[in-house]
């Protein structure tokens, strides 16, 4: 199970783990309603290194990029993510993108879902290894929300 850490504490941990020879994998997102697409994606991301770090959009960040969201608060989303076996660390960022967090942590691997082209992934210019993992069509938080709305 993972830990929720502030940026400074996480940087200390990442630096310590890297000094032990661990490969640090970073991904980010809103993770508003966890679904099978997230689980499969996070499992695959973890396989790319030793330590999986998630940058989680804060509530204000989510609301700026996805109007009407989030459904779940940042603390609840962080707790759910931290409870997943493949997740080692979670930290919250308030910016629209995780660029400053990525610069701060300097992960070895950067991962996003297949709906992102590698060259469009935020931080791809500063992280040596970048992956765009397969996207599972028909499974997204937006689609889940739309199905719920259509059933009411």
Rounded Cα gap, residues 97 and 99, in angstroms? 6
H-helix or E-strand containing 97? none
For the question of whether the overall pTM of this predicted structure is more than 0.85, the answer is yes
Helical ranges in 56-119 per DSSP H = 59-65, 74-82, 99-105
Provide the domain count of the chain. 1
Q: What's 26's domain CATH number?
A: 3.40.50.620
Residue 21 CB partners (closer than 8 Å, separation 6+):
none
13-54 pLDDT, tens per residue?
Answer: 999 999 999 999 999 999 988 888 899 999 999 999 999 999
pLDDT digits (tens, 9 = 90+) for 78-111: 999 999 999 999 999 999 999 999 999 999 999 9
Q: How many CB atoms lie within 10 A of CB 133?
A: 20
Q: Phi and psi (nearest 5°) for 113? A: -75, 165
Domain of 43 in residue numbering reads as 3-150
């Amino acid at each position: 199970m993972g830990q929720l850490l502030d940026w400074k504490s996480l940087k200390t941990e990442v630096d310590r783990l890297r000094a032990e020879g661990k490969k640090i994998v970073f991904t980010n997102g809103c993770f508003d309603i966890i679904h099978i697409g997230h689980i499969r994606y996070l499992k695959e991301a973890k396989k790319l290194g030793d330590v999986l770090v998630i940058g989680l959009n804060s509530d204000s960040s989510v609301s700026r990029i996805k109007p009407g969201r989030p459904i779940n608060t940042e603390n609840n989303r962080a707790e759910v993510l931290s409870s997943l076996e493949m997740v080692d660390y979670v930290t919250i960022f308030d910016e629209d993108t995780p660029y400053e967090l990525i610069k701060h942590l300097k992960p070895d691997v950067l991962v996003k879902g297949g709906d992102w082209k590698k060259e469009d992934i935020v931080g791809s210019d500063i992280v040596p290894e970048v992956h765009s993992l397969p996207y599972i069509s028909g499974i997204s938080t937006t689609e889940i929300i739309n199905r719920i709305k259509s059933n009411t």
